[in-house]
């Protein structure tokens, strides 16, 4: 029996054993693909190839970096925001040389929730025609741990990065999008927000917040031609997930 057939049979057996889980995964997958195709086909409405900027937070590696490259490929100038300025500048140089778009970078430690730092960041956004915002910066626990054993600093960092950073960066960008009567905001979530995850309680709770926040904000700004979407990720190779190798179920 070939490897492919063996894999297919294993998948069928798993689906038969866990029909509800299989259906949910297939449903989530179909929805994600449909949304991705829709966005790819309609990016011009948000200013692609018309001088608009895409702002991506957390752009050091993984999903965030891939978003930055794909948005540059689609024709957006790209503004990268994260803590490590050296990594940001390296990624920006790669993007500029590969896609011939303009790039900017800004360093901020989202864990500090520093008002002055956010004000400086907001000023850097002024005057830019921002068509897309990807709120991807995030932090999880160093390891699975019970809430009572979680360091207070770790909990505070997770809330500051996963919740406050999304709200505050969005708050800075929204006025310009409303004025321009168009925009796309993508809030990157996690399956841990859809499925309560014991021993990751703080992280799970912050990711659940993103889903509700996204839905509420989407209704507020729909009248201004702004689309706000929540994208749930599953198993992905990244520093945050601590997964090092891709496979059939890990991208």
Residues recognised as catalytic: 203, 207
Look up the pTM and report it: 0.78
Q: pLDDT tens-digit profile of 96-154?
A: 999 999 999 999 999 999 999 999 999 999 999 999 999 999 999 999 999 999 999 99
Q: pLDDT tens-digit profile of 185-220?
A: 999 998 888 888 899 999 999 999 999 999 999 999
Average pLDDT (37-48) is: 74
Give the DSSP letter string of the chain: --HHHHHHHHHHHHHHHSHHHHHHHHHHHHHHHHHHHHHHHTGGGGTTTTT-EEEEESBTBHHHHHHHHHHHHHT-EEEEEES-HHHHHHHHHHHHHHH---EEEEE--GGG--HHHHHHHHHHHTT--EEEEEE------SS---GGGS-HHHHHHHHIIIIIHHHHHHHHHHHHHHHHT-EEEEEEEEHHHHS--TT-HHHHHHHHHHHHHHHHHHHHHGGGTEEEEEEEE-S--BTTTTB-S-BTTB-
């Amino acid at each position: 029996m070939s490897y492919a057939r063996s894999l297919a049979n294993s998948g069928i057996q798993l689906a038969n054993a866990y029909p509800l889980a299989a259906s949910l995964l297939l449903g989530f997958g179909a929805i994600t693909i449909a949304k991705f195709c829709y966005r790819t086909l309609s990016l011009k409405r948000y200013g692609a190839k018309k001088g608009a900027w895409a702002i991506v937070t957390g752009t050091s590696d993984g999903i965030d970096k891939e978003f930055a490259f794909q948005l540059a490929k689609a024709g957006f100038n790209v503004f990268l925001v994260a803590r490590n300025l050296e990594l940001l500048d390296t990624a920006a140089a790669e993007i500029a040389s590969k896609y011939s778009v303009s790039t900017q970078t800004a360093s901020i430690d989202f864990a500090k929730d520093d008002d002055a730092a956010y004000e400086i960041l907001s000023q850097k956004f002024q005057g830019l025609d921002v068509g897309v915002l990807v709120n991807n910066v995030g932090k999880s626990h160093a390891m699975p741990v019970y809430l009572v054993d979680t360091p207070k600093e770790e909990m505070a960092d997770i809330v500051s990065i996963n919740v406050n950073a999304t709200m505050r960066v969005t708050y800075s960008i929204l006025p310009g999008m409303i004025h321009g009567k168009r925009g796309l905001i993508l809030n990157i979530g996690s399956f841990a927000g859809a499925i309560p995850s014991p021993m990751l309680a703080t992280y799970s709770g912050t990711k659940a917040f993103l889903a509700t926040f996204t839905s509420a904000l989407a209704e507020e700004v729909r009248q201004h031609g702004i689309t706000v979407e929540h994208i749930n990720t599953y198993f992905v190779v990244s520093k945050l997930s601590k997964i090092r190798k891709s496979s059939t179920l890990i991208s």
